[in-house]
Amino acid sequence: MSRLQKPRNRHAFQRLFKRQLSLAYNLHEPAKAEEGRAPLIFLHGLFGSKQNNRSISKALARDLKRPVYALDLRNHGESPHDPTHTYSAMADDVEEFISKHKIHVPVMIGHSMGAKVAMTVALRSPKTVSALVPVDNAPVDASLSSNFPKYIQGMREIEEAGTDKRSEADTILKKYEEALPIRQFLLTNLTTSPIREHLHFRIPIKILAASLDNMGDFPFKDPDEARYDGPTLFIRGTKSHYVADDVLPLIGRFFPRFELRDIESGHWVISEKPNEFKEAVEDFLREKESRDD
C-alpha cells in the first residue's frame, strides 16, 4: 500500500496495526468425517475457555460428522495475554487462526462475548464464513449485566486473601454470586503455579476489568457499512435480556438471512439447556446443507 492510499473504512485501517495472538485450541474430530462439510469454530464467553465447550463440541463433532475447533480467546484459558481486549482484536486473532490452520469457510458459533467476536469476523470477512450461530448476544452497543463487575470484585478478593483451598475461594465468591453453577464456572479459572504461593486466576483480572466497557460495545454501528448474507441462526435465552425483540430489525439489516430460535433458559444457554442447543444447531446446519446439496 502506498503512502497516499487509504483503507476503505476505519475497520480496514485498524487492521493495518493489529497484533495477532496465536490462540490455544482443542480439536474434536468425529470417528469418520463426511467430506464437504464445513468445520465448526466454537468461541466461549467472558471468563470462559475452550474447556467449557468440551462436551458439546464432542457431541457436535460426532453427530454432524465434522471437526470442531474449540478456541481460547485472548486473555482466556491457555491463550496469551495482551492489554488490548476488544472485539476487533479478538477477531484479528480468530482470522489469523483460520488462515494458519487452513480452515475452509468454517461455521462460526459463539456465546456471549464469543458471539460478538463471531459476528465481527463474519461482517469483516464474509467470504471466509459459511454460516453463523451467535448465542445470546446481538450486534449492538449495550451495557453488560451488573454481575460481571461483581465477579471481578470477587476474584480480586480471592487473590488478595491468599487462599490455598477451592472451598475457601468458593465461600468468598458466594458473597458475589449465589448460584453454584456460575461460581463453579468462574472458579474453573483458578489454578496453581510453582512460582506462585497461593491459588490464583489464570485470566488477567486487571486487563479484563479495564475492558468490561469494551465488551458491551460492537465494532459496527451502521448496517449499510457491512453485511453478512450467509445463513445465520440467532439463539437466545427467553429469560435473558441480551437479544431483545426491539433489536431484531437491526439484526435483520446486518444479517438479512437470519433465523431466530428461542430456548427457555437464562444467558448461559449452552450449559443450561445443552440438548436443546445442540438440536437447534444441528437442525439449522442440516437444513442449510440440504439446500446446498
Q: Above 50 in pLDDT, residue 2?
A: no
Q: Above 60 in pLDDT, residue 14?
A: no
**pLDDT-based confidence at 5, cuts 50/70/90?**
very low
**What's the confidence (pLDDT) of residue 284?**
97
Q: Above 90 in pLDDT, residue 280?
A: yes
Rounded average pLDDT over 282-291:
88
Q: Above 80 in pLDDT, residue 96?
A: yes
Q: Above 90 in pLDDT, residue 1?
A: no
pLDDT in tens, 119-141: 999 999 999 999 999 999 999 99
**pLDDT-based confidence at 117, cuts 50/70/90?**
very high
Q: Above 90 in pLDDT, residue 192?
A: no
- Across the chain, mean pLDDT equals 91
- Which of 76, 85, 111, 267 is labelled catalytic? 267
**pLDDT-based confidence at 202, cuts 50/70/90?**
very high
- Which of 57, 79, 88, 112 is labelled catalytic? 112
pLDDT in tens, 158-178: 999 999 999 999 999 999 999
Q: Above 50 in pLDDT, residue 13?
A: no
**What's the confidence (pLDDT) of residue 195?**
73
**What's the confidence (pLDDT) of residue 144?**
79
- Name the residue with higher pLDDT: 268 or 11: 268
Q: Above 80 in pLDDT, residue 11?
A: no
**What's the confidence (pLDDT) of residue 3?**
39
Q: Above 60 in pLDDT, residue 10?
A: no
Active-site annotation holds for 55: no
Rounded average pLDDT over 26-32:
94
pLDDT in tens, 215-242: 999 999 999 999 999 999 999 999 999 9
**What's the confidence (pLDDT) of residue 143?**
79
What pTM, to 2 d.p., does this model score?
Answer: 0.91
Cα separation of 203 and 239, whole Å? 28
**What's the confidence (pLDDT) of residue 293?**
62
**What's the confidence (pLDDT) of residue 291?**
77
* Domains of the chain, start order: 10-141+217-292 (3.40.50.1820), 147-210 (no CATH)
Active-site annotation holds for 112: yes
